[in-house]
Structure 1
Amino acid sequence: MGFLSLAEGSTVTPKQLVLVVVATVGVLALVLISIDWAPAALQDPARTLGVLNAQGVIRWGENPDRAPFSVVELSMFVAVGLAFVLAGVAAWQTRPNRNPGLLLVVAGLLWLAAGVRRSSDPVLFTAGVALTLMYQPPLLQLALSFPSGVLRSRAERAAVVFFFAAWAAIAVASWAFFDPRLHIAAGESTSRNLFLLWDSPQLTSAIGDAARIVQVGIGVAIVAVLVSRWRSGSPAYRAAFLPLWLAVIIKTASTVWVSLAVVQLTGSLSNEALLWQYPATAIVPLAVLLGLWRYRFARGALSELMVEIGMAPVSDRLIRALRRSVRDPTLSLWRWSPALSGFVDDDGVPRAVPEDGSGRAAMVLERNGTPVGALVFDEALRDQPQLMAAVRSATSLALDNQNMEQQLRDQLVEVRRSRERIVTAGDARRRELERDLHDGAQQRLVAVSMDLARARRAASPAEMKELVDQASDELALALAELRELARGVYPPSLRERGLGGSLRALAERSALPIELDIHLPQRPPPQVELAAYFICAEAVTNAAKHARASNLQIGVQGTDAGLRLHVTDDGIGGATPGSDGGLVGLADRAAALGGSLTVTSPDGRGTTVAATLPFSADPTEDMP
């Protein structure tokens, strides 16, 4: 809040721009039309456009070498006013908070409106006298609140209100007892002052002295406040406000110079002293534009930085580049620690988000509503929200790249581990088959061979028959064992009956009742069938051995893209797949097919093994 404020918005609307143009053109047209170009009026000190009160008009009138009003001075005057308005529109268009732009536009319109002081009409002349200093209160608010345009304390708001009231009082009081037609020594004045109560040189002099003290005091106070803020401010704060601060200090010094010249402390009140008021005043809107250009340059540097980042991760180089872009050497990036549910710095030390008023501010970076980091920076940068939004974008891009790179690393590590587990499991399975063949079918076949050899040497037909029968029994057992071993490699029922028939056979053999819900519009590829069967068989075995379940449900849903299956039991839950368990191997098998396997097993609420298996081959291809 303050002398002027406006709700926050993004840019100037066409309607607002038209209003600014119409107001500027209207005020400027009124000034140009009302100027009295008569020779006496051009020499009249009372109509000067300089920052002069009644006592200053007297001093200006005492200068015999004073230059008459000219087109050059008028051009300088108009240029300053238009500089304010144009800078205000630019600031209004660029800043998300419109207050700085509004303050500049109002200051420019008030500056231009004071030009009616050159009129011979008493009403316009008196209005011009009253408006001569009124452009300064908006500039004070701008200096104290730049770049947000919002005053931060009650003291600052009171100072702006006092400044406005003091300048209005000076404008009226200094002319209430001064008739320029009676007190211009070096030329006749035709200016009629409607503020005049009665002519009193003593009161005019006393009011002039008081006005000078107020002007100089306010000027010194402004400079002191700015210097104090500069000394206590951070590098980012100084970088943002330096152009405007220097401009305000120069403008204040120029005003104080003219005020001191009135009482002959700096020599005569010359033409140069008044003409220097124009460039000294024009510096203010130019400084605002310089600040905006610096802001745009910083955003441009950040845009180049985002292109440079490409797919690079967060690094010290990025942080250094961000610090240079925003001119904040203290900017840092904290990372979110899920284990601590808080932020940690580069050294892993837990950090708390800075509180308001601590001089530091934080911008939390999120992904899908979850914190991933926090940018911690100088609190002064809060007044540049669009710049910090660009910083957020650059940092978020780098964090996303880093997270994607880390995910790729994790996936590569998991792929390597999965391959190692598959190779290890294959080797173990081959050793198991070798052992089973050696200890089972091979031994029986050796026994068959020995029985047949003994039968060849049998002494009697009865002994031969007995040995042949014994060999036949051993051979039958060997064949049964071979079939059982083959069932573990590729169940025969899969080849003969497909996945649905194999699962029904599995349900018939199971010691637990199994409810089947199978929908297969087409036959899956063999590798998908095999993986689905083994997942269901392993889940059924685990439920029977460990889950204390009383019944099971197996669901299989086929689509054009793949299979979705689940095996659910009503057991005790709490299953935790180990690093070398059967389900881990099946998860690897599912991953090898491009699918996934999950185990959901809350305590006391059963276990669900769910898998998604995409078709990696034509589902109509021939089965092996």
Structure 2
Amino acid sequence: MPWGRTPSIRSLAGALVALVAVFVVLGLVTTALVVTTPGPTWAYVGLVVVAWVHVAAGVVAWWQRPSNATGGLLVAGGGAWLLADLGNTGVPALAAVGSVTATTPVAVLVQLLLAFPSGRVRDPAARVVVGAAWVTVLVLQAPEYLFTPQPPPHQLLAIADRPDLAAVGGTVQRVVGALVVVATVVLVVRRLRATDRERRRVLLPLAAYGVVAAVMVPLGAAVADLVGLDPVTLGVVQIVALAGVPVAFVTGLLRGGFARTGEVEELAAWLGGADGRPGLARACARALGDPTAQVVFWLPGPGHYVDAAGAPAPLPGAGSGRAAVEVELRGRRVGAIAYDATLLADPEPVAAAGRVLALAIDRERLLAELRASDAALRRSRQRLVEAADGERRRIARDLHDGLQVRLVLLALDAQRLADDAGPALRERAVALRTGIDDAATELRGHVHAVMPAALVERGLAAATEDLVDRVPLPTRLELALEDGTLPPAVESTAYFVVAEGLTNALRHAHARALAVRVVAADGSVRVEVSDDGEGGVGGPAGGGMRGLADRVGAVGGSLSVDSPVGGGTTVTVELPCGS
């Protein structure tokens, strides 16, 4: 089925459950009808069992390999056996259906042989043989029920009593059927010769068993006469042999090796596709039938694996129930495919998928390496910002708690000296006190510029309120955050965005009113500073805003400026605040 239409696990499970339920009901109805019909009841019920085995095997194959058509063919084979068994019921209409479809299981078996392992008949010669098989079982079957009057309830389709036409039709059907079987054997042998030894080990017993089973359906009676089997023994042998056909096909399909050819071909088609392709990991998971399959990429510099986002992704260890197959391109390791070892016991299909995907994995590896480098650069820049902020906080704290306190103490000493001194020294002591106060005031300004005390001591919300309170223009403030929950680098960056935005608005915008909005939600902080001024700012061109843009980018955020002429200016910053 096409990549874009592969069903989900849940929808596939629902469809398979409904399918099994339908076949169980049909099988029970058919069984109830055939047990009331005179004849070898055990044989009629045995055919229902054969149909159920086909359906069960088809469901297993469909579940394990949803993109492989073999499961659908096996289910169709079960339906063919149920329809054929309707000829053994006592209901005229159903018996007529059974007469028409009596030999359709042979065509299904021929198609299974020639479509294995992908479930699709791709070779033109094989398509001709499959078409001939269906003509044989549907068209050439017609003289059997049209020209041979049958006792009730099989007389519904008879149109004339012409034994001669029925005999000719039967002879033609047997000859064409024999030619179809011979052609099937030739094509299977040709395929065997073209495959390697490992694949031949899987295909040879399956092909031999399938051919023998196909021969036993139409030619079972003749073979029994040759070897001296009584009808009952022949019937038992036929039923057992036919019930083993779907089991053999499912076993071959799930063994691995060339059983994954269909999926590898789909991967090749995926690589050659254009738009609308799923991701690499998703395509690989679908092809392997393992929804947990993961593609990781090898970075030779650091010497470790990463995922598509560039994050480290170590290979599964022993005892985890998972395994990995490394992927190489021209002798160079480019990645690996990790998969569920309990679901895929044979690593060969995973290796085959890796060989097909090697070029795509190498291309994605380069992107993953770029993402990893970009992430490392962002982390490095963020560490620099955090280190610089830490140093600023330390300097601000040292100045505030050290030098500023000493200046205050010196000012007090100067005041006491002025109080105790005579008139000659009092004036000089007061001047000294005034100078010390001015130095302390200037120092407080520098400390605030380095790192505001309100931000260090009380957090972003309090510092923003303090900053807005000092703005000489009407300023609307909206705060929706909880102090103490943001990383220090994010807090300081958001504060400096507000400070720079207000400073620029006061200096250049000729605004009458301002607005500040700081909101934390969904793992990020959004900061907006807007004014109703002249607008027309082309972007963060100024030195202050350019520095802020670098700082915002260093912590993984984004900065944008919306400033239509005459429409005011809005500076918007998004800062990630997740851990």
Q: Name the TM tier (shorter chain).
A: 0.5 to 0.7
Larger Rg: 1
Shift in Å at residue 107 of structure 1? 2.4
RMSD: 6.7
**Contact 1:219 1:253 (8 Å CA) reproduced:** yes
Q: Does 1:391 align with 2:391?
A: no
Equivalent residue number for residue 476 of structure 2: 516
- Percent of aligned pairs sharing the same letter: 16
Deviations 1:578-611 (A, max 9, x none): 99945766898xx8xxxx9642336867521356
Equivalent residue number for residue 107 of structure 1: 81
**Structure 1 residues 501, 28: CA separation in 2 closer, same or farther (over 3 Å shift)?**
closer
Paired AA for residue 353 in structure 1? W
Equivalent residue number for residue 335 of structure 2: none
The two structures have a TM-score, normalised by structure 1, of: 0.51
The structure with higher relative contact order (CA 8 Å, sep 6+) is 1
In 2, Cα distance between equivalents of 1:398 and 1:333: 22
Equivalent residue number for residue 567 of structure 1: 529
Equivalent residue number for residue 228 of structure 2: 271
**Contact 2:117 2:260 (8 Å CA) reproduced:** no
Corresponding residue SS for 1:353: helix
Please, which of 270, 283, 294 is the counterpart of residue 353 of structure 1? 270
Deviations 1:198-217 (A, max 9, x none): 788xx999877655533321
Shift in Å at residue 403 of structure 1? 5.7
Corresponding residue SS for 2:477: strand
Q: Does 1:17 align with 2:24?
A: yes
**Structure 1 residues 243, 286: CA separation in 2 closer, same or farther (over 3 Å shift)?**
farther
The two structures have a TM-score, normalised by structure 2, of: 0.54
Aligned length, in residue pairs: 459
Deviations 1:291-340 (A, max 9, x none): 33566x67xxxxxxxxxxxxxxxxxxxxxxxx769656995999xxxxxx
Please, which of 463, 471, 488 is the counterpart of residue 507 of structure 1? 471
Equivalent residue number for residue 479 of structure 1: 440
**Structure 1 residues 16, 362: CA separation in 2 closer, same or farther (over 3 Å shift)?**
farther
Corresponding residue SS for 1:29: coil
Bigger CA drift: 207-216 or 83-92?
207-216
1:129-528 correspondence runs (5 A): 133=103, 135-144=105-114, 155=128, 158-165=131-138, 167-169=140-142, 171=144, 212-229=174-191, 245-254=207-216, 269-272=226-229, 279=237, 282-292=240-250, 327=260, 353-355=270-272, 365=278, 371=279, 373=281, 375=283, 388=287, 390-395=289-294, 402=307, 406=311, 418-427=382-391, 467-468=428-429, 471-488=432-449, 489-491=451-453, 498-499=462-463, 502-508=466-472, 513=473, 515-518=475-478, 524=483
Stretches of structure 2 lacking an aligned partner (at least 5 in a row): 1-11, 64-70, 150-157, 299-304, 314-371
**Contact 1:333 1:374 (8 Å CA) reproduced:** no
Equivalent residue number for residue 66 of structure 1: none
**Structure 1 residues 332, 394: CA separation in 2 closer, same or farther (over 3 Å shift)?**
farther
Equivalent residue number for residue 5 of structure 1: none
Equivalent residue number for residue 84 of structure 1: 50
In 1, Cα distance between equivalents of 2:492 and 2:95: 100
In 1, Cα distance between equivalents of 2:80 and 2:147: 24
Shift in Å at residue 23 of structure 1? 1.1
**Contact 2:515 2:529 (8 Å CA) reproduced:** yes
Deviations 1:70-112 (A, max 9, x none): xxxx86x457524422213414654377553243243255258
Corresponding residue SS for 1:392: coil
In 2, Cα distance between equivalents of 1:537 and 1:135: 79
**Contact 2:58 2:246 (8 Å CA) reproduced:** no
Please, which of 481, 499, 511 is the counterpart of residue 540 of structure 1? 499
Shift in Å at residue 140 of structure 1? 3.8
Paired AA for residue 485 in structure 1? H
In 2, Cα distance between equivalents of 1:114 and 1:170: 19
In 1, Cα distance between equivalents of 2:391 and 2:56: 74
In 1, Cα distance between equivalents of 2:214 and 2:245: 14
In 2, Cα distance between equivalents of 1:535 and 1:273: 93
In 2, Cα distance between equivalents of 1:556 and 1:125: 80
Corresponding residue SS for 1:391: coil
Paired AA for residue 382 in structure 2? S
